[in-house]
Homo-oligomer: A and B are copies of this chain.
Amino acid sequence: MQTTTEDKLVGDNQDGMGDLTPQDTLNDLRMSDKAVPLLNHVKRFIKETVDPMYEEFQKLGEGHTDRWSFAPGQLEVLQKAKDKAKEEGLWNFFLPDSETGEGLSNLDYAYIAIELGKSPLASETMNCSAPDTGNMEVLERVGTPEQKEQWLQPLLDGEIRSAYVMTEPNVATSDAKNVSTTAVLENGEWVINGEKHYISGAGDPRCKILIMMVKTNDGDDRNRNHSQILVPMDTPGVEIVGPMQVFGEDHAPRGHMHMRFNNVRVPESNMLLGEGRGFEISQLRLGPGRIHHCMRTIGKAEVALDYMVKRGNSRTAFGQTLSKLGGNLEKISRARIEIESMRLLVLKAAKAMDVLGNKEARVWVSMAKAAIPEKTCQIIDQAIQIHGAYGMSQFTPLPELYADVRHLRFADGPDEVHHMVVGRHEISQH
Contacts and interface: CB of A to CB of B under 8 A. Distances in A.
A317 B177 CA distance: 9
Nearest to A377: B381
Nearest to A176: B317
Contact of A10 (B11, B340, B347): B340
Contacts of A44: 17
A174 B394 contact: no
B394 A414 contact: no
A340 B345 contact: yes
Contacts of A424: 329
A311 to B, nearest CB: 9
A172 B322 contact: yes
**Complex copy number for this chain:** 4
Given A28-B29, A29-B29, A420-B329, A393 B340 contact: no
A253 to B, nearest CB: 16
A142 interface: no
A345 B339 CA distance: 11
Contacts of A409: 385
Contacts of A25: 30
Interface stretch (A121-129, A212-220, A268-276, A396-404): A396-404
A72 to B, nearest CB: 19
A149 interface: no
Interface string A242-280: 001111110000001000000000000000000000000
A28 B392 CA distance: 39
Contacts of A359: none
Interface stretch (A77-85, A93-101, A302-310): A302-310
Contact of A330 (B27, B248, B309, B327): B327
Interface stretch (A35-43, A154-162, A182-190, A287-295): A35-43
Nearest to A173: B388
Interface in A395-424: 395, 399-400, 402-403, 406-407, 409-411, 414-416, 418-424
A347 B302 contact: no
Given A312-B427, A411-B389, A27 B30 contact: yes
A334 interface: yes
B416 A326 contact: yes
Most buried by B among A12, A40, A325: A12
For chain A, the bracket of interface size reads 35 or more
A333 B172 contact: no
A427 B329 contact: yes
Nearest to A327: B327
A307 B248 CA distance: 18
A24 B107 CA distance: 12
A31 interface: yes
A345 B393 CA distance: 31
A327 B390 CA distance: 23
Interface in A148-171: 167, 169, 171
A309 B422 contact: no
Contact of A327 (B30, B326, B400): B326
10 tightest A-B CB contacts, nearest first: A327-B327, A175-B317, A329-B423, A344-B344, A333-B422, A333-B423, A333-B419, A248-B248, A341-B341, A172-B317
Given A171-B316, A248-B399, A333-B421, 5 more contacts: A20-B31, A167-B389, A175-B316, A244-B390, A323-B423
Interface of A: 10-13, 17, 20-21, 24-25, 27-31, 33, 36, 39-40, 43-44, 65, 114, 167, 169, 171-175, 178, 197-198, 244-249, 256, 302, 305-306, 309-310, 312-313, 315-318, 322-327, 329-334, 336-337, 339-342, 344-345, 347-348, 367, 370-371, 384-385, 388-390, 392-395, 399-400, 402-403, 406-407, 409-411, 414-416, 418-424, 426-427, 429-430
15 contacts: A12-B114, A21-B36, A28-B28, A28-B29, A172-B315, A178-B317, A198-B390, A244-B393, A244-B395, A310-B430, A313-B427, A326-B326, A333-B370, A336-B423, A388-B410
